[in-house]
């Protein structure tokens, strides 16, 4: 047989969770043609001796809806082996949108997901209004990875209701319009519907995002559209599922169970594995017992905000720092390098009263110097700011300032989550058969969060360093498991006939690098980029997209369209 690509001498970890084995992998076109011993030469050969050959990784929770227009590579996800990503989560999408009301879509995105409004304005070719038109626009774009797209509830509401979406419940006419657009979108290939009811999601003018104004009946009626079509997944959670009030929490869980059982639409939501959240894992099994399919999206290290002089610092909360932080970075560094000029700022940082902070989401917040880590290594451990302060014999606030100055403003710090994960609950979640390790948020919080690396963190930390999972178990968690959850029928396994989305990596070195700040967004905006170690090659739809950490310039990624019952599978 004539092969376009042959990957030779690798150890195949095929995504099934079964044991690895040594084999060659032959690719013809965009498909895996054969797995076994191959004697024929391929047009392109990759020697994978000493490396693992796995399916491409799948990320079920991203926000790359806008980035796909200006970044053909799919960074930073592409650097961590992700070959397919689901975008349009949390109710935030660019469409549907009326051409004279694009500001309403931007309002939903720019604060809740930390998206640069200049990049949105300059980087997107607004050639669409309806969601099917948006899908067609994405389909035409060059893409280094595959994308599937949810339609967002907030965008659906602003399209149907205009400004009323931010302060009113929908009328019957509004809801009928939304239901028709949703049905058209699912028929056109939308993977599902997403929403947000989270208090952390606010607009740039300090109001709840549009989906938070929806009644529960509105949610039910929209999900029923997908149930009637026999297609689609519902991403989102009722806000009270995490309420501290047991009665309110149980009412919320009850209606989520009923929604899943009555609609027969799969439901998925993000689960932060805090010490008190184990009941949500029990809920997955309780929902299954009444006929609902509910899938939790778990993280593998905790969602942390990254701080730096060039982005945000805890001291941004202090009035005495406001004028300094408005200056160009070079001028800030000059002032903070001068013993006399820096003294009032150090004193303010050391003696500040942070008690009046009322921020939400990923905004700056009071410093926990024991918890804030100095980002020196892509994998743990990293020293705390307090550790460095003890070494230097200074206050932790001064140590943080010194680290900023010494690095020219580039040093990053890991601010711990407001909702720290409990390791026991986290490991239970990662092992749960109704949970999927995903939730990177790639494409959002571009200057604050760098979680595209959760897949390589899993492999480097939990497999190699901690040995909590076998390599076979971990690869299944980020390949076949999400493929099954989101209905990607031809991805997630190294098998003949499957899409040729593959990674070739060294299990002894794979892991995330330390992120860096780059100013390459449309309009010159700043974002975090995080690369990785240990990858020999990534293949998407049969074409090598990255070799030895360098993009090849190919863009074989596709839009993965779902199909309602009777219309065939996705591809």
Return all residues near 277 (Cβ < 8 A) that are at least 6 apart.
Answer: 242, 271, 425
Check residues 198 and 140 and name the one with the higher pLDDT: 140
Q: Name the band, by pLDDT with cuts 50, 70 and 90, for residue 567.
A: low
Nearest to 213 by CA among 286, 263, 249, 161: 161
**Mean pLDDT computed over 292-310:** 95
Which tokens is 537 given? 């090659």
Name the percent of the chain lying above pLDDT 70. 97
Question: Residue 232 above 50 pLDDT?
Answer: yes
Integer Cα distance of 463 and 149 in angstroms = 30
Task: List the beta bridge partners of residue 556.
Answer: 143
According to the model, what pLDDT value does residue 163 have?
95
Which tokens is 287 given? 């929902």
Integer Cα distance of 438 and 443 in angstroms = 14
Task: List the beta bridge partners of residue 46.
Answer: 7
Cα three-residue angle 304-306-309, rounded to 5 degrees: 160
Q: What is the mean pLDDT of the chain?
A: 94
Quickly tell me which residue has 């975008």 as its tokens.
87
According to the model, what pLDDT value does residue 359 have?
55
According to the model, what pLDDT value does residue 356 have?
62
Integer Cα distance of 470 and 411 in angstroms = 34
Question: Residue 18 above 90 pLDDT?
Answer: yes
Integer Cα distance of 537 and 5 in angstroms = 12
Helix or strand holding residue 216 (H, E): helix 216-229
Which tens digit of pLDDT belongs to each residue from 250-277?
A: 999 999 999 999 999 999 999 999 999 9
Question: Residue 569 above 50 pLDDT?
Answer: no
Radius of gyration of the chain (CA): 24
Question: Residue 198 above 70 pLDDT?
Answer: yes
Terminal Cα distance for the chain, rounded? 24
Integer Cα distance of 9 and 47 in angstroms = 6
Question: Residue 357 above 70 pLDDT?
Answer: no
SS3 463: helix
**Mean pLDDT computed over 507-524:** 97
Integer Cα distance of 383 and 376 in angstroms = 8
Q: Name the band, by pLDDT with cuts 50, 70 and 90, for residue 398.
A: very high
Question: Residue 320 above 80 pLDDT?
Answer: yes
Check residues 565 and 523 and name the one with the higher pLDDT: 523
Integer Cα distance of 31 and 37 in angstroms = 17
- Phi then psi dihedrals of residue 236, to 5 deg: 150, 170
DSSP-assigned states of every residue in 476-499: HHTTHHHHHHHT-TT-SS--TTSB
Return all residues near 412 (Cβ < 8 A) that are at least 6 apart.
Answer: 306, 307, 308, 375, 514, 515, 517
Which tens digit of pLDDT belongs to each residue from 54-69?
A: 999 999 999 999 999 9
Question: Looking at 141-145, 223-227, 238-242, 335-339, which range is the least confident one?
Answer: 238-242
Question: Looking at 6-10, 129-133, 313-317, which range is the least confident one?
Answer: 313-317
According to the model, what pLDDT value does residue 272 have?
92
Nearest to 241 by CA among 222, 227, 255, 228: 255
Handedness of CA 73, 77, 79, 80 (dihedral sign): negative
Cα dist from 9 to 36, 206, 459, 495, 546, whole Å: 10, 56, 21, 16, 19
Integer Cα distance of 435 and 171 in angstroms = 36
Which tens digit of pLDDT belongs to each residue from 413-451?
A: 999 877 888 999 999 999 999 999 999 999 998 888 999
According to the model, what pLDDT value does residue 417 have?
79
Integer Cα distance of 132 and 459 in angstroms = 37
């Amino acid at each position: 047989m004539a092969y376009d690509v042959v990957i030779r001498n690798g150890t195949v970890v095929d995504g099934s969770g079964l044991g690895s084995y040594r084999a060659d992998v032959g690719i013809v076109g965009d498909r895996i043609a054969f797995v076994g011993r191959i004697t024929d030469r391929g047009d392109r050969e990759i020697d994978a001796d000493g490396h693992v050959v796995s399916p491409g990784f799948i990320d079920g929770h991203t926000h790359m809806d806008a980035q796909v227009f200006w970044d053909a590579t799919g960074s930073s996800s592409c650097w961590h082996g992700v070959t397919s990503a689901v975008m349009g989560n949390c109710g935030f999408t660019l469409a549907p949108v009326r051409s004279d009301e694009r500001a309403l879509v931007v309002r939903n995105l720019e604060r809740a997901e930390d998206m640069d409004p200049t990049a949105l304005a300059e980087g997107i070719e607004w050639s669409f209004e309806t969601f099917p038109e948006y899908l067609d626009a994405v389909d035409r774009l060059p893409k280094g990875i595959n994308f599937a797209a949810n339609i967002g509830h907030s965008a659906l509401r602003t399209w149907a209701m205009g400004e009323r979406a931010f302060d009113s419940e929908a009328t019957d006419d509004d809801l009928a319009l939304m239901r028709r657009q949703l049905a058209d979108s699912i028929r056109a290939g939308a993977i599902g519907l997403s929403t947000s009811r989270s208090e952390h999601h606010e607009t740039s003018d300090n109001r709840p995002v549009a989906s938070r104004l929806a009644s529960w009946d509105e949610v039910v009626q929209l999900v029923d559209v997908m149930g009637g079509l026999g297609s689609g997944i519902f991403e989102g959670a009722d806000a009270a599922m995490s309420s501290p009030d047991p009665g309110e929490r149980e009412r919320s869980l009850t209606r989520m169970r009923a929604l899943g059982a009555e609609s027969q639409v799969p439901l998925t939501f993000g689960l932060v594995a805090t010490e008190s959240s184990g009941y949500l894992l029990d809920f997955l099994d309780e929902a299954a017992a009444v006929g609902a399919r509910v899938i939790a999206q778990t993280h593998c290290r905790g969602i942390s905000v990254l701080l730096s002089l060039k982005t945000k610092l805890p001291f941004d909360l202090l009035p005495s720092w406001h004028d300094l932080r408005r200056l160009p970075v070079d001028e800030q560094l000059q002032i903070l390098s001068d013993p006399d000029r820096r003294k009032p700022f150090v004193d303010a940082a050391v003696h500040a009263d942070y008690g009046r902070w009322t921020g939400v989401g990923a905004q700056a917040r009071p410093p926990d110097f024991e918890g804030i880590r100095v980002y020196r290594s892509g994998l743990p451990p990293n020293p705390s700011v307090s550790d460095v302060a003890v070494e230097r014999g200074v206050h932790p606030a001064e140590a943080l300032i010194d680290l900023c100055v010494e690095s020219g403003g580039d040093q990053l710090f890991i601010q711990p989550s407001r909702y720290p994960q409990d390791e026991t609950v986290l490991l239970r979640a990662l092992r749960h058969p109704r949970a999927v390790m995903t939730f990177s948020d790639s494409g959002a919080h571009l200057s604050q969060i760098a979680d595209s690396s959760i897949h390589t963190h899993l492999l480097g930390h939990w497999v190699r360093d901690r040995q909590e999972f076998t390599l076979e178990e971990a690869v299944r968690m980020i390949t076949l498991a999400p493929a099954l959850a989101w209905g990607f029928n031809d991805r997630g396994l190294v098998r003949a006939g499957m899409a040729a989305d593959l990674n070739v990596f060294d299990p002894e070195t794979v892991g995330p690098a330390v992120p860096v700040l780059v100013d390459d967004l449309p309009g010159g905006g700043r974002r975090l980029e995080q690369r990785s170690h240990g990858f020999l090659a990534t293949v998407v739809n049969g074409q090598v997209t990255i070799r030895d950490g360098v993009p090849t310039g190919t863009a074989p990624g596709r839009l993965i369209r779902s199909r309602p019952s009777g219309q065939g599978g996705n591809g």
